Structure 1
Amino acid sequence: MGSLRVESFPLRPGAGLLLVAVLLGGEAAAQPPATRSIYCCDVGGQPICGDILPAACYGRAYRELSPSGVVRRTVPAPLTADELSRRAELERQRRAEEAERQRQQRLDQALLETYRSLDDLERRRDRELRDVERTLEALREREAALVERQRALIQDATRTDKSDVAASLERDIRTLDSEIVAQRGVLEAKTRERAAVLERFAEDRRRYLELTAEDGGMPSSR
């Protein structure tokens, strides 16, 4: 016997399953009760049912019922293009957040492995700052020496009456101008480096305290 379709036929509330059972009576004798299903969806507030999914139910949420009316499963309506787009965006955000969580976890582990204690962190900070300060002091001394040498040349240039000597001094003064500018650029870069060292160790210290507080205390010395 071919499959009987009951579709696109609005039913009064409460009459849907009864009519389906009557119309499918012949089918009931030919199919094992455990395998038979009725498919229903709601169209305009009315149930539309059939022994296969009615055409009116395409693109809609529908229910699969047993002949006795027990809902075996509920199938949601297919997602719209906007819903698919939103779901893809949420998944992208979830993956980005997970990647950031894993990145932070690796950074935290490296931080705890780098410093044995808070005192160890502060000793390393002070040592690195001392190295930067020594370099800064040497750069300042070099700058001061260049400026002093240029001042002396300028004074010599104002005292000489010989044009060839004055021209030579002028070239030396311009050369020193370039050296002083370059030296000040190096000095500024090293000053920024010092600020970066302070900022990095301040952040490391803050995060180290957070992690060790979460662990209930300071990590043991290695």
Structure 2
Amino acid sequence: MNRLHTLLVSALLLALATPLAAAPTKDKAKQTNKKLYCWNEGGQKVCGDALPAHAIDSARTEISARSGLTTRQVDRALTAEERVAAEQAARAARSAAMAEEARKRRDHAMAESYATEQELRDSFQERIILLDETVKASQLGIDGRRQTLLSLLRRAGEAELGAKPVSKTLADNIRHQHEELMHQQDMLKQQLLERSVADDDLAAALERYHGMKARRPNQG
């Protein structure tokens, strides 16, 4: 009976002692994971063991309190305008990548489709001629739009010199012509860019064409 009593007491003491023994380990783990935060506030560097609410969106450095080494760099939160700009830039990059991939597939298919180099050159020449005609048409349209705008501006200037008000119809027409002129000029810039790379596209397509023909000499 005494032996059983002794075993029960020992077990009880062991059960009571286990949480106490685990507590220092838990505290030690918390101490090991403790971090320091450093951020700029009013042009000065501020550090603390807690990050205040007003500094959550600020750029900061997180440092291990145990080792003193930097564990993380956090950039400041973007403003609404910056987020919109970043999203637009990401969409533009994705669109450019998709367009480039499509161009490569198109050129690859073209190089596969033509039996001779001359057929490939003729195909590109048709594209170049079309681009040249498009550029000329845009330039003529811009010249005509500019002359119309100048005429309207001249009428508005004459009205002002004669101490007469510029009518709303004339003012609206001037604004419309100017917007259309800007739009056409933007289109011309894009067309000129496409024309400027057409020769490079032909050279790249010819290079791929020659490379494929060299790998398969028995196919033409």
* TM bracket, shorter-chain basis: 0.3 to 0.5
TM-score normalised by the chain length of structure 1: 0.45
TM-score normalised by the chain length of structure 2: 0.45
Larger radius of gyration: 1
